[in-house]
Structure 1
Amino acid sequence: MDVPTAGYAGRLEVLEGPTGRRVRSEADGARIAAESLMPGVPVAAVARKHGATRRQIYDSRRRLRQGQLALPESMAPMFAPLMVEESSAPQPTMRSPKSAPAKVKIVIDDMAIRTAIDLEHLPQVIRAVRASR
């Protein structure tokens, strides 16, 4: 497709028509772009499967994001119903003054992070910063 390979290709496909190019409907383009957005699916594999180039797939993905293409009904996002259960756990109360947010400045090399954080979460933040170094 868009990557040169040495040796025998194994198959030759002749496209008829005035330009010798494939003409896909917008629904096909949207379906192929949506397939390439699935987790763990490489764009190159989708392009090979459908006889397209990666550039064509990326262009369709861009058009899909901008709303110029619409997903087919079968691929439209579906929503699960929201189920809310009453909790028997005690409801949170007002914060005590000792757990009020503290202003913290974290300096890592030439970067400084200033934030307000609950004191009870401060040890977790310190451990995360240490682990990131």
Structure 2
Amino acid sequence: MERDGKMGVHLDSSKGFGVSRLEVLEGPSGRRRRTKAERARIAAESMMPSVTVADVARKHGTTRWQIYDWRKQLRKGNLVVPESVAALPIFAELVVDDSAADAPPARGASDVEIVIGDIVIRAGAGADEGQLTRAIRAARAAAS
């Protein structure tokens, strides 16, 4: 490894005293080069429920502002989430409303009702998993 001043060094001293990890990035700029797929995957990870951007940034050795930029690019369509990530199931919180338990079901009522922000998705017994997955993803994209 050359010591010509063209290396980037990342010091992680978040665990108290001293340096707990030393990461040396070689190359002319000392910066990581991420593919579009990696950037999209990291941005998508930061959009998951109960995940903070700061934690994702720390995990991947980048800044929060970089992830916010990648999220913006993802929304604009400049980055595309890889199929391997897009195909993963994403779960929404299930809330049972006991106040309506005593009322008889209305005619034509849906079997499942999913609320994401101010968006409500109602699905009948005939809805398949693919349809629900696409509807949930579209609602989350619209809500963010």
TM category (shorter chain) comes to 0.5 to 0.7
Task: Give 1 or 2 for the bigger CA radius of gyration.
Answer: 1
2:77 corresponds to = 67
Over the aligned positions, Cα root-mean-square deviation in angstroms equals 2.9
1:11 corresponds to = 21
Aligned residue type for 2:47: L
Over 3 Å counting, the alpha-carbon distance change for 1:45 and 1:89 in structure 2 is closer
Q: How does 1:38-117 map to 2 (within 5 A)?
A: 38-76=48-86
* 1:70-106 residue CA offsets vs partner (Å, 9 max, x unmatched): 0100222679xxxxxxxx9658xxxxxxxxxxxxxxx
1:28 corresponds to = 38
* 1:19-39 residue CA offsets vs partner (Å, 9 max, x unmatched): 100000000000000000000
What percentage of residue pairs aligned between the two structures are identical? 58
Distance 2:51 2:35 in 1: 22
Over 3 Å counting, the alpha-carbon distance change for 1:60 and 1:90 in structure 2 is closer
Give the structure, 1 or 2, with the largest relative contact order (CA under 8 Å, sep 6 or more): 1
Q: TM-score, normalised by structure 1?
A: 0.53
In structure 2, stretches of 5+ residues that fail to align are 1-9, 90-104, 109-144
Distance 2:62 2:73 in 1: 16
Over 3 Å counting, the alpha-carbon distance change for 1:21 and 1:9 in structure 2 is same
CA deviation after TM superposition for structure 1 residue 8, in Å: 2.1
1:114 corresponds to = none
- Runs of 4+ deviating beyond 6 Å: none
In structure 1, stretches of 5+ residues that fail to align are 80-87, 92-133
What secondary structure does 2:21 align onto? coil
Distance 2:21 2:65 in 1: 22
